């Protein structure tokens, strides 16, 4: 029984990680129980694989017509014969398509991570990725007149990671800190320690996160609302879990949000 519990009832994140090798035992009840557990997990594995494949295929197929529509709208707007009121409505429609495209891309990213299509084969400087993210968010930061502070000046951690995924996670986290902040607010990015683990903290002066949003960001398996923000939080959580980065939100913060990332795969 101990062997069955240790091998078959251990915590896993995906049915594909389950140990399907039959137990070597002379006890009939244990053999039957082992067989039933294996059958159940096999069915779950098939269902999970089908769901992930569908998400990947559907997301990929949706991107093509979205791109076609955006190009057509561009051509119509650029046409001098298009009335101004029609062009304005088309611009609004383009913004809707842009949001839809981002949601689809996030779904595709989730599917690819779950299907193990990414590798952690690069040594990444966290500070260098942060500088890339801040450069990409320059316009948004300037528009809201956000005071952005990155401290200290030296990088204290590099990790084994996937650059594009780490960039996606940080651009979502910091982008949210800017997007939902108050005008002329502030965002501070700093370093700390949690035991022997280096940490990265992101603090903003916005309205703070709701308990439901905190749960979606920090609790694995939490149901996610079918919105851009909900899926964005799921993307952040999935990428952090892929890199073994702990993520937490300080519940004692009365104003704004304090998010802490705890690193383990340190070089």
Domain segments of the chain: what residues? 1-117, 122-262
Residue 56 pLDDT: 72
What's the rounded mean pLDDT across residues 216-229? 66
pLDDT of residue 222 exceeding 70, the answer is no
Q: 154-186, pLDDT tens digit by residue?
A: 656 788 899 999 999 999 999 999 999 999 999
Length of the chain: 267
Residue with the bigger pLDDT between 145 and 47: it is 145
- What tokens appear for 97 in the block? 């398509």
CA distance 43 to 170: 36
Residue 228 pLDDT: 52
The pTM for the full model equals: 0.71
> Of the ranges 22-26, 215-219, 222-226, which is most confident?
215-219
Determine the number of helices (DSSP H) and then strands (DSSP E) in the chain.
8, 7
CA dihedral 251, 257, 263, 267 (to 10 degrees): -160
Query: Which CATH number is associated with domain 122-262?
Result: 3.30.565.10
Do the strands 186-194 and 147-150 form a parallel or antiparallel pair, or are they unpaired?
parallel
Residue 117 pLDDT: 77
Return the percentage of the chain with pLDDT > 90, whole number.
30
Residue with the bigger pLDDT between 178 and 54: it is 178
Mean pLDDT of the chain, nearest integer: 84
Residue 36 pLDDT: 86
């Amino acid at each position: 029984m101990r062997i069955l519990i240790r091998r078959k009832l251990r915590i896993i994140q995906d049915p594909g990680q389950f140990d399907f090798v039959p137990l070597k035992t002379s006890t009939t009840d244990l053999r039957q129980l082992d067989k039933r557990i294996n059958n159940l997990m096999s069915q779950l594995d098939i269902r999970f694989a089908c769901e992930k494949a569908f998400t990947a295929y559907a997301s990929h197929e949706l991107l093509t017509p979205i791109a076609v529509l955006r190009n057509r709208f561009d051509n119509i707007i650029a046409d001098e014969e298009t009335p101004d009121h029609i062009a304005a409505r088309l611009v609004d429609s383009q913004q809707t398509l842009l949001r839809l495209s981002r949601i689809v891309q996030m779904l595709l990213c989730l599917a690819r991570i779950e299907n193990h299509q990414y590798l952690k084969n690069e040594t990444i400087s966290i500070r260098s990725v942060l500088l890339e993210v801040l450069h990409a968010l320059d316009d948004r930061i300037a528009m809201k007149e956000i005071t952005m502070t990155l401290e200290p000046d030296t990088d204290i951690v590099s990790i084994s990671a996937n650059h594009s995924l780490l960039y996606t996670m940080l651009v979502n986290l910091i982008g949210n800190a800017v997007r939902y902040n108050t005008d002329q607010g502030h965002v501070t990015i700093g370093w700390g320690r949690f035991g022997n683990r280096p940490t990265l903290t992101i603090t903003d002066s916005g309205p703070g996160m709701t308990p439901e949003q905190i749960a979606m960001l920090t609790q694995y398996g939490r149901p996610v609302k079918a919105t851009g923000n909900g899926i964005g939080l799921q993307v952040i959580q999935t990428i952090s879990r892929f890199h073994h980065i702990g993520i937490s939100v300080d519940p004692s913060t009365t104003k704004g949000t304090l998010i802490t990332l705890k690193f383990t795969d340190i070089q």
